[in-house]
Every structure is written in C-alpha cells, then in structure tokens.
C-alpha cells in the first residue's frame, strides 16, 4: 500500500506534462478509448490493493471448538486472574501440550486466511503496475 502512495506521489509531481499530453488526445480516437479503458482498470485495481490490504491486516480469528487456557475470550470480570492462575497451575504436561497444539493450529489457520487476501493484494498491485505502464506507453505514443 505504501508503494501505491509512492505511485500517486510520482503522478502528482508531474501532473502538468501528463495533463497537457492528455489534452491533445481526442477521446473518440483509438488512443483515447484505450486510455479510458486502461484508466478504469487502473482505478479498479488501485482500489483493490487497498481493500485487500485492509482485509489482510485486519484481525482474524479461528474457531476450532477448543477452549484454550491461554487466549481467553472472556472479560476479566467473567474470568478473574485468581481463577485463571489456579486453572493454569492445575494443568498437567499433557494439558499444556494440548493447549500449545490448539493455539499453533489456530495460528496456522489465521496465517492461511491472511495469505489468501495477501495473494489478492499482490495480484491487484501487479495489475495496477501493468495498467499504469500501459497508460504511460499510450501517453508517450500520443506525444510522438
């Protein structure tokens, strides 16, 4: 997402030559129609980078139906520290290993969820770069 902001900053820094080149292009020409189509694709992929980026960094959860002793869904009023400490002290080695396995399984599930949306961020970013490059080539071709 930071690379997208850098891309916007690059475009904003040289907006005058871009606008003057775009002003010379007739919208009904093949070049104008191509720039319009690729601009629409650019803005869709640009927005998709941020949408999928936010989906990737937002909180994820995994519900495997196992009540863990380490990460508690209850508030401190519902499950006091003294009760928690007593429950942890009563755990056997097997209980600790079982809790560790459950939490590791949850972390892997959360990682899988994040990787899924991260793939879409990368695809959208690639699409943005490709469409921006094509638009640049078309603008340069119009100036020549």
> Which residues have CB under 8 Å from 121's CB, separation 6+?
1, 49, 52, 53, 56
pLDDT at 42: 95
> Which residues have CB under 8 Å from 46's CB, separation 6+?
4, 124, 128
Nearest in space to 57 (alpha carbons), one of 115, 7, 106: 115
Q: Structurally, how many domains does the chain consist of?
A: 1
State both tokens at 120: 């879409």
pLDDT at 49: 94
Q: What pLDDT digit, counting tens, does each position of 79-106 carry?
A: 888 888 888 899 899 988 998 898 899 8
Mean pLDDT (whole number) for 66-74: 76
- For 135, the domain range is 2-143
Pairwise pLDDT comparison (127 vs 58), residue with the higher score: 127
The dihedral built from the CA positions of residue 80, 81, 87 and 90, taken in this order, carries a sign that is: negative
- The answer to whether 9 and 131 are in contact (CB under 8 A) is no
């Amino acid at each position: 997402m930071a690379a997208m902001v850098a891309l916007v900053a690059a475009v904003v820094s040289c907006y005058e030559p871009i606008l003057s080149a775009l002003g010379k292009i007739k919208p009904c020409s093949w070049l104008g129609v191509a720039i319009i189509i690729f601009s629409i694709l650019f803005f869709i992929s640009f927005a998709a980078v941020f949408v999928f980026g936010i989906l990737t960094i937002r909180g994820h959860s995994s519900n495997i139906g196992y009540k863990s002793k380490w990460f508690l869904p209850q508030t401190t009023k519902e499950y006091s520290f003294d009760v928690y400490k007593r429950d942890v002290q009563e755990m056997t080695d097997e209980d600790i290993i079982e809790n560790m396995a459950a939490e590791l399984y949850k972390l892997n599930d959360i990682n899988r969820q994040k990787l899924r949306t991260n793939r879409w961020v990368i695809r959208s970013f690639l699409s943005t770069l490709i469409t921006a490059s094509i638009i640049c080539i078309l603008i340069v071709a119009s100036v020549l």
